[in-house]
Amino acid sequence: MDQLIDYIKNSPQLQNLLILLAGIMIIIIVTRIIKGIIPKYIKETNQKYRTRKFINYIGYFLFILLLLIVYSNKLSGFTVFLGVAGAGIAFSLQEVIASIAGFIAINFSNFYKVGDRVMLGGIKGDVIDIAMLRTTLMQIGDWVDGDLYNGKMVRIANSFIFKEPVFNYSGDFPFLWDEVKIPVKSESDHLYAKEKFMEILNRIQGPYADKAIVRWQKMTEKLMVEDARVHPTISMSFDENWITFTLRYVVNYKRRRATKDLIFTDCLEAIRNSKDKIKIASAAMEITAFPKTDG
C-alpha cells in the first residue's frame, strides 16, 4: 500500500489522471442528482426538457474546464499538435463540423424548436430532441394516411439545414390552411348548400379562427407577408358534371385529420336532412348506343 502511495506521489501523470477521473465522477453524480429532482419542481414538459438539456451542457462545460485545468502545463504542446493535425481533422470530420454548426444555428435562430412539426430531408414529423449532431423526429405519414404517427423515430443530421429547405408547420403561428371539397349535383340548390356548409365551418372552426387571426396579424407586422383571410371561406365551381364546393379554413397543425372528420360528418348530416335540396354527385357512365354485331 505504501509503495502504491509512493508511486502516485512520484508520478504527476497518474495524479492528473486520478484527479480527472474523480472530477468526472463528481460531475456525473451531481448532474444526475439535479436531473432527478427536476420533476419535483418543474411540471411543464417543455420546460422540463430544456432544463435537463441545460444541465447536460453545464456538465460538458465543467468537464472541458476540468480537463484544461488538470493539463494546463501541457496546453502549449497540445496547441502545436492541433495546428499540425487541423487540416486533416477538418477534412475527415467535415460532416460532424457542419452538424455542430447546424446545432448552433438551430439554437440561436428560428429554424425550429422541440415540439415543432417540421419536414427535414424529406422526412416529416414532430421534433422530440435536438442533440449536438442530430435532430430526432417522431415521424408522421409514410405508410399511415394523414398526419398521424407511424411509430418510427428518425434521426437527421443537423447539417441538413444548410443543404435542404426546412419546412416548419408550427413556427411563428401554430395553424395551417386546409380545405375539403364536396361535389353536389347541378340540380341542387347551390345557395342553400353554401349557406349550410358555411354554418358548419363557422360552428366547428369559427372560434379557432378568431384566435388565429391575432397571431396572423402579428405575423404581418413582423414579416413581409400578405394579409390573407383567416376566417372560413367557401368557393364554388361547376362544369358539365357537377358543382364543387371548396371549404377553406385554418386549423391547428396537429388536428387536420380530426377536423376534416368533423366537417365531413356534419356536411353529410346536413345533406341527408336537406330533403333533396342537396344531392351528392358521383361519376357515372352513360351508354347511348351499342355497336352492331353480326348474327
Please say whether the beta carbons of 71 and 63 come within 8 A.
no
pLDDT score recorded for residue 79: 56
What tens digit of pLDDT does each residue of 1-11 get?
A: 565 566 556 66
Closest CA to 201 of 174, 233, 246: 233
| Cα–Cα separations (whole angstroms), residue 191 to 196, 274, 277, 279 | 9, 12, 10, 13
What tens digit of pLDDT does each residue of 231-256 get?
A: 888 999 888 778 899 999 988 888 88
Closest CA to 225 of 178, 179, 173, 180: 173
Domains of the chain: 2-92 (no CATH), 108-168 (2.30.30.60), 175-272 (3.30.70.100)
Low-confidence stretches of the chain (pLDDT < 50) are none
**Which residue is listed with cell 496546453?**
75
Helix, coil or strand: residue 173: coil
Please say whether the beta carbons of 241 and 282 come within 8 A.
no
Which residues share a beta bridge with 250? Answer: 177
Those residues with Cβ within 8 angstroms of residue 270's Cβ, 6 or more apart along the chain or in another chain: 196, 197, 200, 278
Its pTM stands at: 0.60
